Structure 1
Amino acid sequence: MPLIYHLYDARKRALQCYIEPVLMYGCEAWTISKQIQNKLEATEMWFLRRMLRIPWTAKKTNERVLNEANKRRSLVRTIRKRQATFLGQAMRRGKLEHLVTTGKFEGKRGRGRQRERIMDALATWLGPGKVSDILAAVKDRDLWRDMTANAYKQGT
């Protein structure tokens, strides 16, 4: 095995142990817009290029870099899976977290465009279905675990 790939494995483990947890701290509460998703993917590619020591002046596409590393993009999918796991726990608990997540509380709404809710973002990630279907699936742990695992495998 060439030395560069052995160093790549050590760098990959260091990235997974030290950098990714700091990067994903509190990601369960994020709402990921398309702009934030693009920034996260760019960050993941920057890490990968640095680990493989590919300079930014090299004209290599992201797909080519991913093929060299034998890797798929996984940062956004991991964040979505963590969000779905947290949502399942919060909904089954059924207390204040449930009220805040579903958005069912009284009061006056602020001015401007409504912000994207976590439920809406997860509904698009988990596939076709309504928010009410997702809330019903959360109650059954096995069904919820299967739904999130399938969405993670498909990479949506």
Structure 2
Amino acid sequence: MKWRQVTGTTCDPRMPLKLKGKIYKSVIRPVLLYGSECWAMKKTDEKRLHVAEMRMLRWMCGVTRMDKVRNEYIRGSLKVAPVTEKLKGNRLSWYGHVKRRDETHVTKKAMSINVDGWRGRGRPKKIWMDCVRSDMRERGVSDSETGDRTEWKKKTYCADPK
């Protein structure tokens, strides 16, 4: 919905690309990633999010897939980081926030909750903590580093290119 509201400005060929990138970063991407801190994303979900983002960025640049312009070039011209990287940064930021909470806080208790019962047959569903562990492995951070907020943010934040 937000994309359709700003299409008149973002798809206007007279608008500079830098301004279009700023509009995307401040209006569209936050809507796209709203609540993403607690999503357990599968590869197919990440791919779907990436495709939606690239479709919007291509519209903004006035480029079609038939023009055979690389995604990296489009991202570079708009100065936008990949949405999946921002998603992982948001997830790790939230994880650090929860780990620094008081032991009696609800979110901290919910992280260590153990549910009794039987698991069904087949492969277990992907859980949020699995995503956090893989994100931490990718960024090279450990659980013990969550205590220092500034260091955690430096290591887990995904900045947009300059």
How would you bin the TM-score normalised by the shorter chain? 0.7 to 0.9
Moved over 4 A (4+): 3-6
Contact 1:99 / 1:105 at 8 angstroms: preserved in 2? no
Say which of 124, 128, 133 aligns to 2:134: 124
Name the structure 1 match of 2:97: 89
Q: How far is 1:45 from its partner?
A: 1.2
1:115 aligned partner, one-letter code: K
Q: Which runs of 5+ in 2 are unaligned?
A: 1-11
1:51 aligned partner, one-letter code: M
Name the structure 2 match of 1:50: 59
Give 1:51-90 correspondences, 5 Å limit. Answer: 51-66=60-75, 69=77, 71=79, 73-90=81-98
Looking at structure 1, the residues matched to 56 and 83 of structure 2 have their Cα atoms a distance apart, in angstroms, of: 11
Contact 2:99 / 2:146 at 8 angstroms: preserved in 1? yes
Name the structure 2 match of 1:18: 27
Looking at structure 2, the residues matched to 81 and 128 of structure 1 have their Cα atoms a distance apart, in angstroms, of: 11
Task: Say yes or no: does 1:115 pair with 2:154.
Answer: no
- TM-score normalised per structure 2: 0.71
Q: Which runs of 5+ in 1 are unaligned?
A: none
- TM-score normalised per structure 1: 0.73
Name the structure 2 match of 1:101: 111
Higher relative contact order (CA 8 A, sep 6+): 2
Looking at structure 1, the residues matched to 16 and 36 of structure 2 have their Cα atoms a distance apart, in angstroms, of: 29
Per the alignment, do residues 53 and 121 of structure 1 end up closer, same or farther by CA in structure 2, a change over 3 Å counting?
same
Bigger share in helix: 1
Per the alignment, do residues 59 and 128 of structure 1 end up closer, same or farther by CA in structure 2, a change over 3 Å counting?
closer
Say which of 40, 50, 53 aligns to 2:49: 40
Q: Number of paired residues?
A: 144
Contact 1:101 / 1:118 at 8 angstroms: preserved in 2? no
Q: How far is 1:83 from its partner?
A: 1.2
Looking at structure 2, the residues matched to 15 and 128 of structure 1 have their Cα atoms a distance apart, in angstroms, of: 26
Percent identity (aligned): 22
Looking at structure 2, the residues matched to 146 and 9 of structure 1 have their Cα atoms a distance apart, in angstroms, of: 25
Task: Say yes or no: does 1:138 pair with 2:146.
Answer: yes
Query: Residue by residue, what CA displacement relative to the aligned partner does 1:30-84 show, whole Å, maximum 9, x if unpaired?
Result: 11221111112212211111011012333333344445x2645421111111111
RMSD (CA atoms)? 2.9
